[in-house]
Chains A and B, each alone.
Chain A
């Protein structure tokens, strides 16, 4: 009887140990990916977003994204719309936080108004695309809990569970490439009912400054609505040396004027 209990305890502790190991390893991978991308300081990139509905009809948006790396807190970003022309100049300024709600301001060029907006809406679509706001916001390690799933050659597969209950997902299955600076190759999104909602594939990777991998094509497929969105990045600029002054409400108005 006693041996049985001991054996039982042994089995239990092994399971806990493995579970802990899986969580720790998952976290380690996320941290390694975060680490690999540190030191880019700032970037400016052009983005062409192509939205495709289930009948294959497409529409396009052109944006410019400026990003400023922060070490103690989440990154800052400034996004300006250049097309469609009726929303040209509409811009957002976002200060992401590792913990808690992000700060976000919207600039409306027609009336020159800067409006602080709620960052509560994470799961909603970004400008009618298949990308949710949370898919495009700065990816901070603290925003998920992790579980390492498996290793396939140079690919590491990790489950990420969003910490924020307002997230539209129960989990994301992320494929990292450990030989290429832990860059992400694929993300599968599971909705609140835990069924597969979307798959995001990263391609056309390019190495900048010998250290920073950037995918120039992101392809999101929604399996439930059969709609797709393709993001094409071009003219990455890591040399602009942007500073905090380029991420203020004054800079937001200037970018969208």
Chain B
């Protein structure tokens, strides 16, 4: 109910602004509407570890987008909605990914509403990226995000780089798989079971700042977030019960990329402080692309990253001392065919996760994608991953764009 009221406030602000803008003379408004329909099928080929879990997950998703821009594109309203229907009741969900008003003028930009912001440079783990809550039921790689209510002010300077200031008035909880869903713990976690450290609960007023600059071949970002963390903190008691809550955290992040010839050298690291937990985590690696190998556009990139997390087995993503290796193959053909294959392996145990993502366009408005995640020899001592050891899956999806 509370989140709904935010939507209405933003909607009103947006409409107000549109009317105001239209009153001014000679301000042509460009409207743009897009729609994506997706059919998806996920198949988990191993017998489920827990009761009630299903193997087959046919699913449908719809994603409408609307944009109105005026003032030569320096002012706009952007909307992106999302709805998915799935076998798992918790994966059946809707979200307003984006609904914001934007105004840009010379060296500043202002955004108000629900928006998505991405920070970082690494491929295998996105440590620094903290503004949006992860839509955890939507994808395994954590790249799908929930719309975050914010006021964002960006100040661009020529000599000192770009400064971003965020005011984040509302926290959104992470959704976990329901009882029919895979990739869950033995106990089904309802997102409402998780509490907040802050007495203001989801209405704790959070802030973040980021500085981003580039010099020659260096791209650097330094950020600080103070507020309710996006990752819940899990505390396992002796009886096997899980106590989980969202702590108030300070998180400082660094992201650095050096782009030299066909080499991309990458580093992301964070230090997170909360009353219940302090830790350091990093991911460092490189990407090298052999381009136009056959004289026909074939690019083969090789990726390697080292992942470290001081939380050890409590790291929610289970990447405490691991190596990621992978290859990105782009055919650069008219169908934009591309393949990403990789694996993450634990340096201290047998645990390995293999992954494959491939996509291709058909005609002018269809795309098909294949994804596979294989959990291989998951160590029984993996506190979190051991619950997913029977959850290897294949996913195929077909999208139509209107």
Q: Which A residues are closer than 8 A to B by beta carbons? A: 51, 53, 59-60, 83-88, 101, 103, 111-118, 120-121, 123-125, 127-128, 168, 240, 243-245, 248-251, 254-255, 257
Complex-state Cα separation, A120 to B72, whole angstroms: 34
**B158: Cβ under 8 A from any A Cβ:** yes
Partner of A245, one of B106, B116, B118: B106
CB-CB contacts of B32-60 with A at 8 A, as 1s and 0s? Answer: 00101000000000000000000000000
Residue pair A123, B292 in contact (C-beta under 8 Å):
yes
Q: Which of B227-235, B257-265, B312-320, B346-354 binds A?
A: B257-265
A128 CB to nearest B CB, Å: 4
Complex-state Cα separation, A26 to B121, whole angstroms: 44
Residue pair B262, A84 in contact (C-beta under 8 Å):
no
List B99-147 residues whose CB lies under 8 Å from chain A: 102, 104, 106-107, 109, 116-118, 120-121, 143
Q: Which of B241-249, B303-311, B359-367 binds A?
A: B359-367
Complex-state Cα separation, A240 to B72, whole angstroms: 9
Residue pair A124, B334 in contact (C-beta under 8 Å):
no
Specify which of A88, A120, A123, A240 lies most central, judged by the most chain B CB atoms within 10 Å of its CB: A120
A133 CB to nearest B CB, Å: 9
B214 CB contacts on chain A under 8 angstroms: 103, 116
**B333: Cβ under 8 A from any A Cβ:** yes
A-B contact pairs, 26 of them (CB 8 A): A59-B364, A85-B402, A86-B367, A86-B401, A88-B34, A103-B214, A111-B143, A112-B117, A112-B118, A114-B118, A115-B121, A116-B219, A116-B257, A118-B262, A121-B299, A123-B292, A125-B292, A125-B332, A128-B332, A168-B292, A245-B107, A248-B156, A248-B162, A250-B109, A250-B156, A251-B104
Complex-state Cα separation, A112 to B333, whole angstroms: 24
Partner of A84, one of B117, B212, B297, B364: B364
B361 CB contacts on chain A under 8 angstroms: 84, 86
Q: Which B residues are closer than 8 A to A by beta carbons? A: 34, 36, 67, 72-73, 76, 78, 102, 104, 106-107, 109, 116-118, 120-121, 143, 154, 156, 158, 162, 212, 214, 219, 257, 259, 261-264, 289, 291-292, 295-297, 299, 332-336, 361, 364-365, 367, 399, 401-402
Residue pair A124, B336 in contact (C-beta under 8 Å):
no
| In the complex, residue of chain B having the shortest beta-carbon distance to the beta carbon of A225 | B296
A243 CB to nearest B CB, Å: 8
Specify which of B109, B117, B292, B334 lies most central, judged by the most chain A CB atoms within 10 Å of its CB: B334
Residue pair A53, B289 in contact (C-beta under 8 Å):
no
Residue pair A254, B109 in contact (C-beta under 8 Å):
yes
Residue pair A117, B259 in contact (C-beta under 8 Å):
yes
Partner of A254, one of B73, B158, B162, B332: B73
A101 CB contacts on chain B under 8 angstroms: 261
B219 CB to nearest A CB, Å: 5
Residue pair B121, A249 in contact (C-beta under 8 Å):
no
Residue pair B292, A128 in contact (C-beta under 8 Å):
no
Complex-state Cα separation, A105 to B301, whole angstroms: 17
B118 CB contacts on chain A under 8 angstroms: 111-114
A194 CB to nearest B CB, Å: 14
Residue pair B367, A250 in contact (C-beta under 8 Å):
no
Residue pair A118, B264 in contact (C-beta under 8 Å):
yes
A53 CB contacts on chain B under 8 angstroms: 334
Residue pair B364, A60 in contact (C-beta under 8 Å):
yes
A249 CB contacts on chain B under 8 angstroms: 162, 212
Complex-state Cα separation, A87 to B212, whole angstroms: 26
Q: A103-B214, A125-B296 are in contact. List 7 more A-B contacts (CB 8 A).
A: A85-B365, A87-B336, A116-B214, A118-B259, A244-B158, A250-B104, A257-B102
Complex-state Cα separation, A111 to B121, whole angstroms: 12
Partner of A124, one of B106, B263, B297: B297
Residue pair B102, A254 in contact (C-beta under 8 Å):
yes
Residue pair B143, A128 in contact (C-beta under 8 Å):
no
A45 CB to nearest B CB, Å: 15
List the 3 closest A-B pairs by CB distance, nearest first. Answer: A121-B291, A85-B401, A124-B292
B365 CB contacts on chain A under 8 angstroms: 84-86
| In the complex, residue of chain B having the shortest beta-carbon distance to the beta carbon of A248 | B156
| In the complex, residue of chain B having the shortest beta-carbon distance to the beta carbon of A112 | B118
B336 CB contacts on chain A under 8 angstroms: 86-87, 127-128
Residue pair A257, B259 in contact (C-beta under 8 Å):
no
| In the complex, residue of chain B having the shortest beta-carbon distance to the beta carbon of A192 | B295
Residue pair B289, A118 in contact (C-beta under 8 Å):
yes
A112 CB contacts on chain B under 8 angstroms: 116-118
A127 CB contacts on chain B under 8 angstroms: 332, 336
Residue pair A120, B262 in contact (C-beta under 8 Å):
yes
B262 CB contacts on chain A under 8 angstroms: 118, 120-121
| In the complex, residue of chain A having the shortest beta-carbon distance to the beta carbon of B218 | A116
A83 CB contacts on chain B under 8 angstroms: 364
B274 CB to nearest A CB, Å: 27
Given contact pairs A120-B289, A124-B292, A128-B336, A85 touches B261 in the complex (Cβ within 8 A): no
A15 CB to nearest B CB, Å: 36
A240 CB contacts on chain B under 8 angstroms: 72
Partner of B399, one of A59, A60, A86, A125: A86
| In the complex, residue of chain A having the shortest beta-carbon distance to the beta carbon of B366 | A86
Residue pair B104, A128 in contact (C-beta under 8 Å):
no
B208 CB to nearest A CB, Å: 15
A124 CB contacts on chain B under 8 angstroms: 291-292, 297, 299, 332
| In the complex, residue of chain A having the shortest beta-carbon distance to the beta carbon of B105 | A245
B143 CB contacts on chain A under 8 angstroms: 111
Complex-state Cα separation, A66 to B156, whole angstroms: 19
A244 CB contacts on chain B under 8 angstroms: 158
Residue pair A120, B261 in contact (C-beta under 8 Å):
yes
Residue pair B289, A254 in contact (C-beta under 8 Å):
no
Partner of B334, one of A85, A118, A120, A128: A128
Residue pair B297, A125 in contact (C-beta under 8 Å):
yes
A111 CB contacts on chain B under 8 angstroms: 118, 143
A142 CB to nearest B CB, Å: 18
B332 CB contacts on chain A under 8 angstroms: 124-125, 127-128
Complex-state Cα separation, A249 to B257, whole angstroms: 15
